Amino acid sequence: MEGVTLGAAGVRATARIVATPEGLPVLEGQGPLALRRTRARGAHHRVTVVGAMSAPLGGDRITIEAQVRAGARLDVDSAAATIALPGRGGERAHYDVRLTVAEGGELRWLPEPLICARGSDLRMRTRIELAPGARLVFREEQVLGRHGEAPGTLATRLTVHRACRPLLDQELAFGPGAPGGWDGGAVLGGHRAAGQLLVVGQELTDRPVEARLLGAHAVLTPLMGPAFLVTALAPDARLLRRTLDDALRAYGPAS
């Protein structure tokens, strides 16, 4: 596989997407990340991430980069859930996501959940850079363990800048390698699925949202952006997705 490093420590691979108003001049999958053009809606381009091999495994270092240039509209989803699995030597895996949206661009980042299988150890880092007039819909979901199994260890960090200023910077840690209390009432409270929805767009200046509870285990928080964040817990992935989808329909931008 060209551009992919294979070794005892795991796979090193980077997949890249560049979207312009005219098309997708860069669409380069590597290793476990295959990228496919799929049926779009309206003026949007659409890319689906397809898992070409089991990953991330312990020791892997995988990166996906997406750049939306001025005036372009891009939807990115995935064909299936990503499953973090343990490696042979117990090494930690790393999965980096780097997203950039230029002035007048729009990115809808809506992958399937990340499932942390028993024995896995994953560090996931997402960095997003937005121009002042960029629009973003970003969803991420974590499921702790497959059905009937204990969770792996997951540490995530999401950092978002808009107009070169910090908008959001948060870290989460779950599983047996996380600090104590991660499964207690102050964090997960016994739930196995956690997720968030971040929406950024200038139209929120004219119709700002107010902080509110969305049921018993979800909250909507306005951010300086203009933007808002929905954070939710659920007993399983299906109910988590329903909560986030309902929030997007109720408060998100018109599609």
Is 25 within a domain?
A: yes
pLDDT on residue 101: 98
Is 5 within a domain?
A: no
- Measured over all CA atoms, what is the biggest interatomic distance in the chain, rounded to whole angstroms? 54
pLDDT on residue 1: 45
Q: At 250, is the secondary structure helix, strand, or coil?
A: helix
Is 168 within a domain?
A: yes
Percent helix / strand / coil, the chain, rounded to 5: 5, 50, 40
Residue range(s) defining the domain that contains residue 105:
13-251
3-state secondary structure 7-71: ECCEEEEEEEEEEECCEEEEEECECCEEEEECCCCCCCEEEEEEECCCCCECCCEEEEEEEECCC
Cβ atoms of 126 and 97 closer than 8 Å: yes
Tokens of 241: 């997705």
Is 87 within a domain?
A: yes
Is 1 within a domain?
A: no
- Residue with tokens 């070794």, as numbered in its chain: 7
* Separation CA 100–CA 110 (nearest Å): 15
pLDDT on residue 167: 97
Is 6 within a domain?
A: no
pLDDT on residue 8: 53
Is 107 within a domain?
A: yes
Against a cut of 0.85, is the pTM above it? yes
Cβ atoms of 45 and 17 closer than 8 Å: no
Q: What is the pLDDT along the chain (255 residues), one digit of tens a residue?
A: 455 555 556 889 999 999 999 999 999 999 889 999 999 878 899 999 998 666 788 899 999 999 999 999 999 999 999 999 998 777 899 999 999 999 999 999 999 999 999 999 999 999 999 999 999 999 999 999 998 889 999 999 999 999 999 999 999 999 997 887 788 877 888 899 999 999 999 989 888 899 999 999 999 999 987 999 999 999 999 999 999 999 999 998 865
Is 100 within a domain?
A: yes
Dihedral Cα 16, 21, 22, 23, nearest 10 deg: 30
Considering its fold, how many domains does the chain have in total? 1
pLDDT on residue 255: 58
